[in-house]
């Protein structure tokens, strides 16, 4: 099979075979956009290489043909004394991995062609500048000579001459540098830099294929869930020169702002520079808008191409361009990485512009990433009073406070030790990936908005401030202005403003922006499943409503009992010897619960709220150690011995399997009766205020039909009595949690007594696996390491086991009551992949914590598309 495609032969749909870069170079070529000539070696050839570790005969033959075709189209060939061909060799996987693999520029230069190029261009400085770059890149990528050794030589020459910038280097300096660079090859296998362009090309291709398996590429793939089997393509591309003089340059541009989503060409460039100079942060570049003044025709052409590409790809594009003597060339186009805020803005704008449909917009965002939007920011009042220590470019939004570390490794170690870490660097390189992942924020002294640090941080959703001029980092110390910063010092980083503050500033939660509201409304229209919130207090509910919850799927009443003034009544009630002694504390609790219910229902208005009656084992409310027992005994007017004895009597060996859930009501019916009375009194009050409420009352942990019917009768009796007493025509929905395997298996019977089901996936998972949720940490990691279990079933629903039980329960429930409403509450109700699964089961709603509501909402919409 064919292993090489010219750019003219490929297209954007061939990304699997040609990699993203190759497929898009081909697509742009065919769109008539100026792209240098070249060809792509396929990912299939890479697979081949992974097995044989050499370039096959077949590939070498195709390579020879491709080179002669390139010679025919460009009029240049390797080692030609008049028109020498120079190329870049560029990696490009099917999924973009920015900066993770290798590229070598200026292949084809050697001791002879460098002078040909000098003569041809009348620019020896340029020729030797290109040569030293080749020597450094080739030495690093092919022979693994550390970049630092090349940099050191460059720096030494610059310092000796007293230069500020690379641009000050003269031809003679560059020739000296070339000689010294060649010296570094003495330690390699070959001992010399290969002079044959063909040998250079083959070695470069081999190295790029091999770079698929280098450490940083593997870490990046693991982090981004990219398959190790994809392999990389290799692009061989005729060189164009951004370092050919002052009418030349190189840059990167985004068709929209990748941090905010604003619709304007955004980017940076450097005049008289090549390739990586912009991204690496070696020199701080100029904003692309400045090009409008220096080279207006080029700027207009770039804008036109940007628009054309965005319309063609129907998505925001990240472009690499080079200007050679005033001629513009595109070297790369790909869907641009962006912050979640930008992704949201762009998706909404593109719908308004008619570029994409709402469904496409909904598919563009990762549900999990939506939670970024809800990330905290620094407390604005404290921020207003704080003085920034320094300011850089706001490269990736968010706010983080943490302890500073100056190397990726130190950052990672500190993070592993449980610290919040800010990675502070002169600049970052792909080798720093481990440390960047571990950090809450990244700060660099050099580089622009498209520097490596900025791009990677935005991709990870980490806060970043780059190009902080006042910062200088050396070894284990940094200075900001005249302030000394030591490893471990606290720093607060504001990614929205670019400000840095000494110390730890407090964070507060952010509100919901307009575009998010619009977007979530689209999601709501599209989803077939509703999204409810688990909310125990009016404050939780308030937040959930702001995030667009359709109702409350779970109010855990026990959380209301842990406030001190309630806890004491609760204890008094539990410890009472006789039903009579229980009356007073129950009455006190009832009053407090009534207020809670009143406020929750009032806030929810016409939205449905499901109240779950008391669930946890009673002894959870009791004091545990001697000191606590002593204090509580005094509070309740009991002797210490008596209290100790009572606590001991209530203690259980397996509380999770013990006296909890509706078992409490079988032995102490007064508790549930009290709760329902409180609820009904709240309903009566609200009715007087003109709000008609249909309470949903949920029984936890039901196992049998008889149990369900008994609980239902108990609840219904209270409802009827209070309704009648207040001449109120109210109907209560009485349903059950489905959270034991037995309940799932006998769901058709239980449904006779239940108006609705709600899966308690936490308990159901616990009981299905016989894994105690509180104890899994001691063995689950080993299961995962050994591949015995794919994912933590408390994070992602176990479809084959727990999911099958749910399926059985749904079928059973709806056999008895075809319209039975069914929900899911529990941690996985907010997990996108679990939500998608529940959608296939025909669940009516999921209920999750308020912050997960937007995530679940989008996941539900995507499941329906």
Which residues bind to Mg ion, rule: CB under 5 A?
Answer: 320, 332, 739, 760, 763
The whole-angstrom separation of Cα 169 and Cα 190 is 29
Q: In a 10 Å sphere around its CB, with 0-12 CB exposed, 13-18 middle and 19+ buried, how is residue 431 labelled? A: middle
Q: Which does 763 bind (CB under 5 to 8 A by kind): ligand ADP, Mg ion, none?
A: Mg ion
Under rule CB under 6 A, residue 428 binds ligand ADP: no
- Provide the pairing of β-strand 463-466 with 393-396: antiparallel
And the tokens for 362?
């909904």
Q: Are strands 441-444 and 463-466 parallel, antiparallel or unpaired?
A: parallel
| Beta carbon of residue 193, minimum distance to ligand ADP (angstroms, whole number) | 20
When the beta carbons of 197 and 275 are compared against ligand ADP, the nearer one is 275
Within residues 24-53, the interface with ligand ADP by CB under 6 A covers 36
Cβ neighbours, 10 Å, residue 376: 13
Of 237, 316, 520, 570, the one binding ligand ADP (CB under 6 A) is 237
- Interaction between residue 650 and ligand ADP (CB under 6 A): no
Q: What is the 3-state secondary structure (H, E, C) of 834-859?
A: HHHHHHHHCCCEEEECHHHHHHHHHH
Residue 255 buriedness (CB in 10 A; 0-12 / 13-18 / 19+): buried
Name the helix (H) or strand (E) containing 493: strand 490-494
**From 103, 180, 673, 746, residue interacting with ligand ADP (rule: CB under 6 A):** 103
CB atoms near residue 581 (< 10 Å): 13
- Residue 758 interacting with ligand ADP (CB under 6 A): no
User: Is residue 451 a contact residue for ligand ADP (CB under 6 A)?
Assistant: no
Residue 103 touches which member of ligand ADP, Mg ion, none, C-beta under 5-8 Å by kind: ligand ADP
User: Contact 582/576 with Cβ under 8 angstroms?
Assistant: yes
Q: Which residue of the set 37, 348, 375, 452 is catalytic?
A: 452
Least distance (Å) between residue 107 CB and Mg ion: 16
- 62's contact among ligand ADP, Mg ion, none, with CB below 5 to 8 A by partner kind, is none
| Minimum gap (Å) between residue 97 Cβ and ligand ADP | 8
463 binds, among ligand ADP, Mg ion, none (CB under 5 to 8 A by kind): none
322 lines the binding site for ligand ADP (CB under 6 A): yes
Residues with Cβ within 8 Å of residue 597, at least 6 apart in sequence: 611, 678, 679, 682, 683
Confirm whether 825 is a catalytic residue: yes
Among 14, 67, 85, 105, binds ligand ADP (CB under 6 A): 105
CB of 237 to ligand ADP, least distance (A): 4
SS3 label, residue 676: helix
Task: Find where tokens 């924020």 sit.
Answer: 441
The stretch among 231-239, 634-642, 811-819, 834-842 that binds ligand ADP (CB under 6 A) is: 231-239
Task: Collapse the DSSP code of 492 into the 3-class scheme (helix H, G, I; strand E, B; otherwise coil) and give the result.
Answer: strand
Which residues, including other chains, have CB under 8 Å from residue 846's CB and lie 6 or more apart? 529, 530, 531, 532, 553, 823, 824, 825, 829, 830, 835, 838, 856, 860
Residues 129-168 close enough to bind ligand ADP by CB under 6 A: none
| DSSP tag of 41 | E
Q: For residues 664 and 673, what is the distance between their CA atoms, to the nearest angstrom? A: 12
277 contacts 133 by C-beta, under 8 angstroms:
no
Select the binding partner of residue 99 from ligand ADP, Mg ion, none (C-beta < 5 to 8 A, by kind).
ligand ADP
| Residue 513 CB neighbour total at 10 angstroms | 13
CA pair distance 549, 855, nearest whole angstrom = 11
- The angle at the Cα of 847, spanning 844 to 848, to the nearest 5 degrees, equals 150
User: Which residue blocks in 547-660 are alpha helix, DSSP H?
Assistant: 564-575, 579-604, 626-636, 640-650
Shortest distance, CB of residue 204 to ligand ADP, whole angstroms?
A: 12
Please identify, using beta-carbon distances, which residue of 137 and 374 lies nearer to ligand ADP.
137
List, edge to edge, every strand of the sheet that includes 399-405: 390-391, 499-502, 490-494, 399-405, 421-425, 441-444, 463-466, 393-396
322 binds, among Mg ion, ligand ADP, none (CB under 5 to 8 A by kind): ligand ADP
Going by C-alpha positions, the residue among 359, 360, 350, 446 that lies closest to residue 395 is: 446
Give, rounded to a whole angstrom, the gap between the first and last alpha carbons of the chain: 37
Query: Which of 320, 349, 432, 827 is the binder for ligand ADP (CB under 6 A)?
Result: 320
Which range of residues in 168-176, 234-242, 391-399, 672-680 is near ligand ADP by CB under 6 A?
Answer: 234-242
Which is nearer to Mg ion, 78 or 794 (by Cβ)?
794
| Binding footprint of ligand ADP, residue count (CB under 6 A) | 16
Q: Which does 88 bind (CB under 5 to 8 A by kind): Mg ion, ligand ADP, none?
A: ligand ADP
103 or 350: CB nearest ligand ADP: 103
Min separation Cβ 14 and ligand ADP, Å: 18
**Could you tell me which stretch among 233-241, 404-412, 664-672, 693-701 binds ligand ADP (CB under 6 A)?**
233-241
Binding to ligand ADP by CB under 6 A, coded x per residue (else -) over 255-294, reads --------------------xx------------------
237 binds, options ligand ADP, Mg ion, none, Cβ within 5 to 8 A by partner type: ligand ADP
Strand partners, 237: 38, 88
Cα torsion through 78, 80, 81, 86, rounded to 10: -40
Structure tokens at 144: 């693994």
Q: Which is nearer to Mg ion, 250 or 332 (CB)?
A: 332
Query: How many angstroms separate the CA atoms of 629 and 644, rounded?
Result: 7
Q: Which is nearer to ligand ADP, 36 or 830 (CB)?
A: 36
**Which window, 235-243, 263-271, 484-492, 726-734, contacts ligand ADP (CB under 6 A)?**
235-243
240 binds ligand ADP (CB under 6 A): yes
348 annotated active-site = no
Comparing CB distances to ligand ADP, the nearer of 72 and 788 is: 72
Name residues contacting ligand ADP, limited to 72-101 (CB under 6 A): 88, 90, 99
Nearest approach in angstroms of CB 384 to Mg ion is 41
Nearer to ligand ADP (CB atom), residue 324 or residue 798: 324
Least Å distance, CB 406 to Mg ion, is 28
Cβ contacts of residue 817 below 8 Å, gap of 6+?
A: 751
Partner that binds at residue 760, options ligand ADP, Mg ion, none, CB closer than 5 to 8 Å by kind: Mg ion
**Which of 237, 348, 825, 848 is the catalytic position?**
825
Binder of ligand ADP out of 211, 332, 768, 844 (CB under 6 A): 332
| H/E stretch holding 744 | helix 741-745
Shortest distance (Å) from residue 697 CB to Mg ion: 16
Q: Which is nearer to Mg ion, 27 or 763 (CB)?
A: 763
Please, are residues 398 and 426 in contact by the beta-carbon 8 Å criterion?
Answer: no
Q: Which residues are catalytic?
A: 452, 825
Contact set with ligand ADP (CB under 6 A): 36, 88, 90, 99, 103, 105, 237-240, 275-276, 320, 322, 331-332
């Amino acid at each position: 099979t064919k292993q090489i495609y010219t750019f003219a032969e490929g297209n954007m749909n061939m990304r699997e075979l040609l990699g993203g870069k190759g497929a898009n170079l081909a697509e742009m070529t065919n769109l008539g956009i100026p792209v240098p000539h070249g060809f792509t070696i396929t990912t299939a050839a890479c697979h081949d290489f992974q097995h044989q570790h050499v370039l096959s005969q077949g590939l070498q033959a195709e390579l020879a043909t491709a080179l002669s075709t390139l010679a025919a189209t460009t009029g240049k060939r390797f080692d030609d004394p008049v028109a020498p061909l120079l190329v870049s060799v560029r990696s490009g996987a099917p999924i973009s991995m920015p900066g993770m693999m290798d590229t070598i520029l200026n292949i084809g230069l050697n001791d002879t062609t460098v002078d040909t190029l000098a003569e041809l261009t009348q620019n020896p400085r340029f020729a030797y500048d290109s040569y030293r770059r080749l020597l450094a890149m080739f030495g690093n990528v092919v022979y693994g000579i550390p970049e630092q050794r090349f940099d050191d030589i460059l720096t030494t020459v610059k310092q000796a001459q007293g230069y500020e910038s690379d641009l000050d280097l003269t031809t003679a300096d560059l020739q000296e540098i070339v000689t010294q660079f060649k010296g570094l090859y003495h330690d390699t296998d070959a001992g010399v830099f290969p002079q044959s362009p063909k040998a250079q090309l083959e070695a470069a291709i081999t190295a790029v294929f091999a770079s698929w398996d280098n450490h940083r590429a593997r870490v990046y793939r693991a982090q981004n869930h990219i398959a190790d089997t994809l392999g990389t393509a290799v692009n061989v591309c005729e060189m164009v020169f951004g370092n050919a003089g002052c009418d030349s340059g190189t840059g990167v541009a985004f068709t929209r702002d990748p941090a905010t989503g604003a619709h304007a060409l955004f980017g940076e460039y450097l005049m008289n520079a090549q390739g990586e100079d912009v991204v690496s942060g070696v020199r701080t570049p100029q904003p692309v808008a400045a090009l409008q003044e220096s080279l207006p025709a080029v700027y207009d052409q770039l804008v036109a191409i940007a628009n054309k590409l965005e319309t063609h790809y129907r998505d925001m594009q990240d472009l690499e361009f080079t200007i050679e003597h005033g001629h513009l060339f595109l070297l790369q186009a790909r869907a641009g990485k962006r912050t979640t805020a930008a992704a949201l803005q762009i998706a909404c704008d593109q719908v308004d512009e008619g570029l994409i449909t709402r469904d496409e917009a909904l598919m563009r965002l990762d549900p999990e990433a939506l939670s970024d939007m809800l990330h905290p920011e620094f407390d604005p009042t404290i921020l207003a009073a704080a003085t920034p220590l320094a300011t850089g470019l706001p490269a990736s939004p968010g706010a983080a406070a943490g302890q500073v570390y100056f190397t990726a490794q130190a950052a990672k170690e500190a993070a592993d030790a449980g610290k919040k870490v800010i990675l502070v660097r002169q600049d970052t390189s792909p080798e720093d990936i481990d440390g960047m992942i571990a950090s809450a924020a990244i700060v660099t002294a050099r580089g622009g908005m498209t520097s490596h640090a900025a791009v990677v941080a935005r991709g990870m959703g980490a806060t970043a401030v780059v190009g902080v001029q006042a910062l200088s980092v050396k070894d284990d110390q940094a200075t900001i202005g005249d302030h000394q910063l030591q490893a471990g010092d606290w720093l607060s980083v504001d990614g929205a403003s670019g400000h840095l503050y000494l110390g730890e500033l407090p964070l507060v939660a952010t509100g919901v922006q307009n575009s998010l509201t619009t977007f979530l409304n689209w999601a709501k229209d599209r989803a077939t499943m509703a999204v409810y919130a688990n909310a125990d207090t009016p404050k939780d509910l308030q937040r959930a409503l702001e995030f667009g919850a359709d109702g409350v799927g779970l109010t855990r009443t026990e959380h209301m009992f842990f406030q001190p003034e309630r806890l004491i009544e609760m204890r008094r009630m539990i410890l009472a010897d006789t039903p009579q002694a229980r009356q007073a504390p129950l009455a006190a609790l009832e009053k407090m619960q009534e207020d809670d219910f009143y406020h929750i229902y009032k806030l929810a208005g016409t939205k449905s709220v499901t109240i779950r009656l008391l669930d946890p084992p009673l002894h959870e409310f009791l004091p545990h150690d001697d000191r606590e027992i002593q204090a509580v005994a005094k509070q309740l007017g009991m002797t210490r011995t008596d209290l100790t004895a009572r606590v001991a009597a209530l203690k259980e060996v397996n509380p999770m399997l013990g006296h909890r859930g509706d078992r409490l009501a079988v032995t102490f019916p007064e508790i549930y009766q009290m709760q329902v009375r409180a609820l009904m009194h709240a309903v009566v009050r609200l009715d007087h205020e003109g709000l008609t409420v249909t309470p949903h009352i949920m029984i936890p942990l039901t196992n049998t039909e008889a149990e369900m019917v008994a609980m239902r009768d108990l609840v219904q009796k209270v409802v009827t009595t209070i309704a009648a007493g207040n001449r109120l025509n109210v109907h209560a929905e009485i349903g059950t949690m489905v959270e034991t395997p037995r309940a799932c298996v006998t769901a058709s019977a239980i449904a006779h007594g239940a108006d609705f089901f709600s899966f308690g996936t936490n308990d159901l998972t616990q009981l299905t696996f016989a894994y105690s949720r509180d104890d899994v940490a001691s063995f689950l990691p080993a299961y995962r390491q050994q591949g015995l279990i794919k994912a933590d079933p408390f994070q992602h629903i176990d479809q084959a086991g727990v999911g099958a039980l749910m399926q059985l329960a749904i079928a059973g429930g709806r056999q008895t009551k075809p319209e039975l409403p069914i929900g899911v509450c529990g941690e996985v109700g907010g997990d996108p992949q679990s939500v998608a699964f529940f959608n296939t089961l025909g669940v009516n709603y999921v209920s999750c914590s308020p912050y997960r509501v937007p995530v679940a909402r989008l996941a539900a919409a995507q499941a329906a598309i």
